[in-house]
Amino acid sequence: MSAASRSRRAWGWYQLDDRWAARLVADAAVPPGALVFDLGAGTGALTGHLLDTGARVVAVELHPGRAQRLRDRFAGRRLTVLELDVLDLRIPTGPYRVVANPPWGIASPLVRLLTSRRSGLVAADLLLPRAVVRRHADAGGPGRWRSEHATPVPRHAFRPAPQVDAAVLRLRASGRR
């Protein structure tokens, strides 16, 4: 079975309510003109709010139908849609940010990818299962990154509702803005 044909539950992807999406983007404090990746963009709950900040947004979505809906929904805006697996993304060495509700099943490999030695990551706000966020935050952050447990998000903020609550893992590069 191809990755694109798996169910959203198999991916660990849960659609975020629009009010929560707006709150998470506001909390991320994305400056206008910033390069921001929405990893596992889904139907664009975060994407639209990120575009409204004036950011240059790259939405990464593996599912072909959702990727096309993103292109159609945000046509004419500063959006690039990449139809690929998040873990296959060639991350920039120059400054970039991430605000994302990625597939929960890839949380740890995703954090490793974003915080790799050559990464230009400035800041990441990742919506993940609360236990995963707690584990990464308690570790203090990999290498030159600080990590913290940020906004808690209840399971009823998603469709379908996951079996656990979520939270935002906030990663900030030491010495960068």
- Which residue's entry shows tokens 């849960």? 14
The domain in which residue 134 lies consists of 3-173
pTM: 0.91
Give pLDDT, residue 12.
62
Q: What are the DSSP E strand ranges found in 79-164? A: 79-82, 96-100, 121-129, 145-153, 158-159
Distance (Å, whole) CA 149 – CA 134: 6
- Which residue's entry shows tokens 């308690």? 138
Distance (Å, whole) CA 177 – CA 7: 37
**Over its length of 177 residues, how does the chain's per-residue pLDDT go in tens digits?**
344 434 444 456 789 999 999 999 999 999 999 999 999 999 999 999 999 999 999 999 999 999 999 999 999 999 999 999 999 999 999 999 999 999 999 999 999 999 999 999 999 999 999 999 999 888 876 678 899 999 999 999 999 999 999 999 999 998 654
Give pLDDT, residue 7.
42
Backbone angles phi, psi at 171, to 5 degrees: -115, 135
Q: To which H or E segment does residue 38 belong?
A: strand 35-39
Distance (Å, whole) CA 14 – CA 157: 9
Peptide bond between residue 160 and the one before it cis (omega within 30 degrees of 0): yes
Q: Which CATH number does the domain housing residue 94 bear?
A: 3.40.50.150
Into how many domains does the chain fold? 1
Give pLDDT, residue 175.
65
